[in-house]
Structures are given as C-alpha cells and as structure tokens.
Structure 1
C-alpha cells in the first residue's frame, strides 16, 4: 500500500541552499521508489489558514518512506532546507485501492453505540 511524505512549507527568502537541496533530493528518493506527486504547489485554501505551499512524495509503502527520510543521503541534504524554510513534514500510509469510507463510518457508528 502506498505511503506519502507530506510537507507544508512556509514562504521563505530565496537562497542558494534551496537550489542545492532541490538538485539533490531526487537521487535520495530513487533508491526507495519515491516520486513527487505534488511539488511546490500553491494551495487553494477552502477552510482555515495555510500559508506557504505543499509537497507530496509517494512511496511504495511506509517502510520505504521511513527508510528514505532516515537515510544518510537525505539526512545529509535536509539542513539545506531546514535552515532556510520553516515547515511541517509527516509520513502517512495511504488507503487500499478498494477503500470505502462507508465501511469506516459503520465501524465508527458501532463504536459510538457501544
């Protein structure tokens, strides 16, 4: 089941470190099957407040997403971004292709009635 690395990055000042980070990130993702699904996208806010932009990277599974983030190659370039851009990063598992939210609703209803 796919997993995703999601980043909500706040606006920052342009800096050469960010370009260096971008030059090198794909090579850190390749051994783990990582692919950008959303990159540097401005969001259309419908609820709440979301300053900045979003990045979504898909991995074949959560173990490979974790292995990428913890890899020496990624940890080596991570300070290039974190010194220049504030943000939040999470790893999250996806849902199966046949996921049906109504099954989750039924489980929640049953738990609420118990």
Structure 2
C-alpha cells in the first residue's frame, strides 16, 4: 500500500498565536499515525517561490492522510492556525509501495 503525505508551506504572521496550533496538533497526528519527516529546518530555495516554513508529514496511506485532514479534530485546529498564518497544503499519494 502506498503511503500518503501532507506537504505544507506556511508563512507565520503571529508566532505566539501559531504556537497554540503547534502544541495541539501532535495529538491529532498521533491519532492518524502521522509522522513528521520535515518540520522546517535549514533550506535553500533553488527555484520558484516558497513560504518561509515547510512541513512534510507521512501517513500509512493516502486515504489515512486525507482522513486526518478532513477529521473534525483537524478542522478545529485550522481555526487555531488560520488567524496567525497563511498555508498551502497538499495531500499526495507516495510513489512506491513500501
């Protein structure tokens, strides 16, 4: 079964407000077996435009990744995040069955 991934790029306007989202999201991702592969860090944008923060989260399957995003628990977290940031999030199926 192919894994599923969230790829998110985020600009944070108000770090102290965004912190509530960061603190609360671990429980939701744990519930859906989400695992952070990338949570910002050093980067070099070598082509195109990106937001200031990049996150990649791995899930057991594409359907599980979608289920997490669409869950009532995560939808509540969007309300914590949205006033303090701008985000682009893609849910994508992995290439190989691992």
Structure with the bigger RCO (C-alpha within 8 Å, sep 6+) is 2
Kept in 2: contact 1:12–1:84 (CA 8 A): yes
Kept in 2: contact 1:10–1:52 (CA 8 A): yes
Query: What is the deviation of 1:37?
Result: 0.6
| Aligned structure 1 segments of 4 or more residues deviating by more than 3 angstroms | none
Cα RMSD, aligned residues only: 1.6
Query: What is the deviation of 1:10?
Result: 1.7
Structure 1 residue 18 and structure 2 residue 18: aligned? yes
Q: Which runs of 5+ in 1 are unaligned?
A: 99-114
Say which SS state the counterpart of residue 87 (structure 1) adopts: strand
Which structure is larger by alpha-carbon Rg, 1 or 2?
1
TM-score in terms of structure 1 length: 0.76
Kept in 1: contact 2:21–2:81 (CA 8 A): yes
Using the alignment, how far apart are the partners of 2:26 and 2:97 within structure 1? 26
Q: If each structure's helix is expressed as a fraction of its own residues, which one has the higher value?
A: 1
